[in-house]
Amino acid sequence: MMNQRISEMWRISVLKHSGTPMNWNRVAEDFASSLIQECTNLLINEAQILYSRADFFGEGRTGEDAAQGAETCLDNVDLIKTHFGINQ
Domain that holds residue 58: 29-88
Q: Residue 19 — pLDDT band, cuts 50, 70, 90?
A: confident
Residues 6+ apart with CB under 8 A from 36: 80, 81, 84, 86
63 in a domain, yes or no?
Answer: yes
13 in a domain, yes or no?
Answer: no
3 in a domain, yes or no?
Answer: no
88 in a domain, yes or no?
Answer: yes
| Whether 73 contacts 47, CB under 8 Å | yes
15 in a domain, yes or no?
Answer: no
Does residue 34 surpass a pLDDT of 90?
yes
Mean pLDDT estimate for the chain: 87
Question: Using one digit for the tens of pLDDT, what is the confidence trace for 49-85?
Answer: 998 888 887 777 788 888 899 999 999 999 998 988 8
Number of domains in the chain: 1
Kindly report the pTM of this predicted structure. Answer: 0.74
60 in a domain, yes or no?
Answer: yes
20 in a domain, yes or no?
Answer: no
- Tell me, what's the pLDDT at 58? 76
